[in-house]
Amino acid sequence: MAELQEVQITEEKPLLPGQTPEVAKTHSVETPYGSVTFTVYGTPKPKRPAILTYHDVGLNYKTCFQPLFQFGDMQEIIQNFVRVHVDAPGMEEGAPVFPVGYQYPSLDQLADTIPCILQYLNFSTIIGVGVGAGAYILSRYALTGLTSSIAEMILGHLFSQEELSGNSELIQKYRNIITHAPNLENIELYWNSYNNRRDLNFERGGDITLKCPVMLVVGDQAPHEDAVVECNSKLDPTQTSFLKMADSGGQPQLTQPGKLTEAFKYFLQGMGYMASSCMTRLSRSRTASLTSAASIDGNRSRSRTLSQSSESGTLSSGPPGHTMEVSC
């Protein structure tokens, strides 16, 4: 997805008392059906969707929507939402005439360009405002949006918003893997099964709980950190180790494989395996520590801190009889 242009335009319109002119940023992105131009007003608001408009035949975003969004009572709304105005291909101001024989995209194909726009902007949800043909395009997108944006939904499940906004090489790699997966339809079925899952109904001290040793791992920037913390609170503290990985997002096995390997070795040692294994990576970490967490009923477990010598390179294994929180 390559950006072709980005220009800033100060909208020329009568201003209301106390109103400052909006700065518009116009972008063009390549899609499977050609270049699409759209204009963004405002800045994204946390946990709020963007308002996305699509105009009717014979109009562009300005001639179709400008009177509405300049209306006085509308100002309270637009101050609270970022706006994305999409121009159909060749309908933007100053657009060149298409060559003879050019095959214009169908309305269904135009609907399929919307995920390209949202991916470029890193937006996951929108409020659609369409007129005529634009309303059809947005309706078609809403009908097929799950399939079209399945990659972004899964990425939002795998990685935190901070990671996605950073758009690191890792994010780009996995976005490409998922977006171009030949079995995307199968992935969607798996995704649907996940979303229809039942609650495990764990209850600390109850009949439904895990009886075996458990190691829970979550990154400190993971999108589901709270859910893992809640799960830990419902498990048997004498059988559970809880590890929160620093500088790690939703996939610590990808971002911190070294630290996770060492923590896994320690977990195995607590089960009586690999007693002589060296913990070289954690032994070099100044923050490697193991502290017991309080039990949910307020009876605090015997608190202890295990430290290791950087010269020995080993970490002694203790009994798995306490819920442990590892910060490393």
The per-residue pLDDT for range 183-193, each reduced to its tens digit, is 888 888 888 88
For residues 278-293, give the mean pLDDT: 43
pLDDT at 48: 82
DSSP letter string, 289-315:
EEEEPPPTTS------B----TTT---
Q: Which of 77-86, 136-145, 314-323 has the lowest mean pLDDT?
A: 314-323
Indicate whether 9 pLDDT > 80: no
What CATH number has the domain spanning 24-95+103-146? Answer: 3.40.50.1820
Length of the chain: 328
Query: Residue 39 and residue 163: Cα distance in Å, rounded?
Result: 25
> The whole model's pTM is what?
0.47
Indicate whether 246 pLDDT > 60: yes
Total Cβ atoms within 10 A of residue 309: 9
> Residue ranges per domain, the chain?
24-95+103-146, 148-178, 214-271
pLDDT at 100: 93
pLDDT at 12: 43
Query: Residue 253 and residue 87: Cα distance in Å, rounded?
Result: 42
Indicate whether 314 pLDDT > 60: no
pLDDT digits (tens, 9 = 90+) for 109-131: 999 899 889 888 888 788 899 99
DSSP 8-class letter at 92? S
Pinpoint the alpha helices (H) of the chain: 61-70, 75-78, 107-111, 114-121, 133-148, 150-158, 161-166, 169-179, 184-195, 225-234, 252-255, 257-270, 280-283
33: its two tokens: 């059906």
Q: Which of 9-13, 36-40, 263-267 has the lowest mean pLDDT?
A: 9-13
pLDDT at 105: 93
Burial bucket for residue 154 (CB in 10 Å: 0-12, 13-18, 19+): buried
